[in-house]
């Protein structure tokens, strides 16, 4: 099918040609509302006129940045990678990825489950809401998706095929290279100019060569490690959940990259939230909950990943009979520690880039009181710097918590 841009009027007629969608609704009396608040794509909520509970989300990419307009070209191929990643992840952890009703790479479109009873994790955490099953769910997501797309599970041929499927997600990989690892630490027109101007913190960061040299190591790792298929943008805005369910959405940045990047993104965003509560709400109980959450996620990730590995006899990396059990155990422990360390390094970059870079996070950039905002930024940068400077020597989850707690 040839690509055409849908709008509020043409989206319902388009859906009527998709059997699985019509089976779901059981009626063709449908209405569409545009609900997109995203930067990149058009998003419609299509619902039944007879039964309000029946609703699906339609997401279509256009060949430009939606929030800016047609003059900012951005290939709609990003949806190709989102579709591929959603499909892969859905196969691996079906309970943690929204139901897919229709995908078309030609049309750059995906039709999926409407998460009407779920909220975005970032907002929930900012409102000091607790999610008792979140650590359990997200650690499963990380362990399963990372392990099962790695050379520790796949054979050599399957792994190269996977790299092929995502290797041309060039534009979005470049966005990360530029915005997470480069521009946010130097004078650049894409930065938050108002905040950079006359801000001694910005001058300090931009001149911090020791920090920036370490960031370069992490950038190089990001660009040249093909560990596993990663989500690529796993912040707390890419997670929707409630008391019982957790869904990971928006994997358009997916590619075969370093193990630690998704874990680091998640940790970074929880720490940003921790900083928000430190400065704004001063809710010690919730801060403790956030630290516990980080620790739980990291511990559960490690044990689940190791368990999957124990169960895997042959893979591209290891075959039965190559090493004895004791050595394998030692190797795996060391391997997991390396993942932890790199996660901490990436977490530092993901935090630091939010302070002066192009896309801030609501918890920090949204603080209206300027003095408090500066305090929060200072604390974010302090923790981020520790993460980046020390990641290679981190030995335990407790050391990570200690860095966070002792920063202020």
List, in order, residues 6 or more apart from 241 with CB less than 8 Å away: 118, 119, 121, 124, 131, 134, 137, 247
- Based on CB atoms, which residue is closest to a copy of itself, 42 or 211? 211
Residue selected from 189, 209, 311, 371 as contacting a copy of itself according to rule CB under 8 A: 209
Report the C-alpha gap between 403 and 408 in whole angstroms. 10
Nearest CA-CA partner of 108 in 84, 90, 132, 136: 84
Q: Which stretch binds a copy of itself (CB under 8 A): 37-45, 205-213, 340-348, 367-375?
A: 205-213
Question: Which residue, among 260, 287, 284, 258, has the nearest Cα to 272 in the 3D structure?
Answer: 287
- Judged by DSSP in three states, 102 sits in strand
Considering only residues 52, 194, 198, 224, which one is a binding residue for a copy of itself as defined by CB under 8 A? 224
Per CB under 8 A, the segment of 5-13, 137-145, 206-214, 264-272 that binds a copy of itself is 206-214
Query: Among 330, 369, 396, 406, which residue interacts with a copy of itself (rule: CB under 8 A)?
Result: 330
Contacts of residue 52, defined as CB under 8 A and 6 or more positions apart, other chains included, come to none
Instruction: Decide: residue 319, CB within 10 A, 0-12 exposed, 13-18 middle, 19+ buried.
Output: exposed
Nearest to 109 by CA among 29, 23, 14, 37: 14
Judged by CB under 8 A, which of 163, 308, 389, 401 binds a copy of itself?
A: 163
Q: Residue 250: which residues within 8 A CB-CB, separation 6 or more?
A: 38, 82, 233, 237, 238
308 binds a copy of itself (CB under 8 A): no
SS3 category, 41: strand
Q: Work out how close the CB of 82 gets to a copy of itself at its nearest, in angstroms, rounded to a whole number.
A: 18
Q: What is the CA radius of gyration of the chain?
A: 22
Specify the residue, 227 or 302, whose C-beta has the smaller distance to a copy of itself.
Answer: 227
Instruction: Choose, by CB under 8 A, the member of 29, 95, 106, 164 that binds a copy of itself.
Output: 164
| Phi, psi of 109, deg, nearest 5 | -130, 145
Residues between 92 and 131 with contacts to a copy of itself, criterion CB under 8 A? none
Residue 216 interacting with a copy of itself (CB under 8 A): yes
Nearer to a copy of itself by C-beta: 66 or 159?
159
- Contact stretch for a copy of itself (CB under 8 A) within 133-141, 155-163, 195-203, 235-243: 155-163
Binding site for a copy of itself (CB under 8 A): 151, 156-157, 159-161, 163-164, 167-168, 170, 173-174, 177, 182, 185-187, 209-210, 212-213, 216, 219-220, 223-227, 316-319, 321-324, 326-327, 330-331
């Amino acid at each position: 099918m040839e690509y055409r841009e849908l709008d509020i009027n043409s989206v319902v007629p388009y859906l009527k040609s998709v059997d699985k969608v019509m089976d779901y609704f059981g009626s063709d009396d449908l209405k569409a509302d545009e609900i997109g608040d995203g930067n990149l794509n058009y998003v419609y909520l299509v619902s039944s006129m007879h039964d309000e509970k029946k609703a699906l989300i339609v997401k279509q990419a256009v060949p430009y940045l939606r929030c800016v307009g047609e003059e900012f070209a951005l290939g709609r191929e990003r949806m190709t990678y989102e579709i591929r990643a959603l499909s892969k992840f859905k196969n691996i952890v079906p309970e943690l990825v929204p139901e897919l009703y229709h995908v078309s790479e030609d049309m750059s479109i995906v039709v999926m489950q409407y998460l009407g009873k779920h909220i975005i994790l970032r907002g929930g955490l900012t409102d000091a809401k607790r999610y008792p099953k979140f650590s359990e769910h997200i650690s499963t997501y990380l362990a399963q998706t990372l392990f099962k797309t790695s050379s520790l599970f796949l054979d050599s041929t399957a792994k190269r095929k996977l790299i092929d499927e995502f290797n041309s997600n060039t534009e979005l990989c470049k966005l990360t290279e530029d915005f997470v690892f480069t521009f946010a630490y130097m004078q650049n027109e894409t930065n938050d100019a108002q905040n950079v101007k006359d801000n001694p913190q910005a001058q300090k960061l931009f001149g911090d060569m020791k920090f920036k040299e370490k960031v370069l190591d992490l950038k190089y790792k990001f660009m040249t490690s093909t560990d596993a298929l990663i989500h690529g943008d796993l912040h707390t805005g890419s997670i929707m959940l409630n008391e019982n369910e957790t869904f990971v959405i928006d994997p358009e940045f997916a590619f075969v990259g370093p193990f630690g990047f998704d874990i680091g993104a998640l940790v970074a965003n929880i720490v940003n939230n921790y900083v928000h509560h430190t400065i704004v709400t001063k809710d010690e109980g919730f801060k403790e909950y956030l630290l516990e959450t980080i620790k739980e996620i990291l511990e559960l990730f490690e044990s689940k990943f190791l368990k999957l590995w124990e169960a895997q006899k042959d893979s591209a990396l290891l075959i039965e009979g190559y090493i004895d059990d004791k050595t394998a155990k030692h190797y795996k422990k060391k391997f997991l520690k390396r993942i932890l360390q790199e996660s901490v390094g990436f977490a530092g970059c993901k935090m630091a880039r939010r302070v002066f870079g192009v896309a801030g996070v609501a918890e920090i950039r949204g603080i209206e009181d300027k003095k408090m905002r500066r305090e929060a930024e200072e604390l974010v940068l302090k923790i981020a710097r520790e993460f980046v400077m020390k990641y290679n020597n981190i030995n335990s989850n407790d050391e990570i918590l200690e860095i966070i707690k002792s920063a202020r």
